[in-house]
Amino acid sequence: MSQEKDKVFFRNFSLIVGALALMMVVFIIAARILGVDEATELERQSASVAERTAPMGAVSVAGEEEEQPAPAVAEVAAASNSDAGKKIYDGLCAACHGSGIPGIPQLGDKEAWAPRIEQGIETLYAHSLNGFTGSSGMMMPPKGGGANSDDEVKAAVDYMVSNSQ
């Protein structure tokens, strides 16, 4: 009788282990089919970040054709190029380029800036004005997410490059 119970137990135990193994295989296949594509997910996140960090809008007054800069921007535009670059950096760029966030070149980090500077100043201007997602996956929003003019953004890039060579 004892051997009979052992055989029944072994048979039931084997069926349960087999069923669990089969379920595991089914779940692995389902995960492969329904899994998340990392490249697509990164693109979706980049688009979401760009949308959240885009400038909220611009000020326009009826009857005026030319957009009037805000007082802080007018003050920066009147300053010298290097002074304007420093002011823009301190007010906007330092949030990322001075905070130690991994994957973002920090002001003064010659090693991190060297490959970027080698691409040329026009490439740096284009990335800062139009936005860029680097190999680390970190996204630079257009104009750093601010509403500065192209010349002001270029001045900030010049300031960062001159302090990181």
Average pLDDT, the chain: 82
- Give the residues across from 139 on adjacent strands: 133
pTM higher than 0.75, yes or no?
A: no
Locate the domains of the chain by residue range: 1-32, 69-162
24 and 113 Cβ atoms separated by less than 8 Å: no
Rounded Cα gap, residues 127 and 142, in angstroms: 8
Note the pLDDT of residue 75.
43
CA-nearest of 69, 79, 50 to 148 is: 69
For residue 82, is pLDDT > 50?
yes
For residue 143, is pLDDT > 50?
yes
Dig out the tokens for 73 from the structure: 């921007």
CATH annotation of 69-162: 1.10.760.10
156 and 77 Cβ atoms separated by less than 8 Å: no
Note the pLDDT of residue 77.
43
Least confident of 59-68, 83-92, 135-144: 59-68
Q: What are 75-84's contacts with CB under 8 Å, separation 24+?
A: 76/148, 76/152, 77/149, 77/151, 77/152, 81/155, 81/158, 82/155, 82/158, 82/159, 82/162, 84/152, 84/155, 84/156
pLDDT per position as a tens digit, 35-70: 777 777 778 888 788 878 877 777 777 776 655 444
Dig out the tokens for 111 from the structure: 């090693």
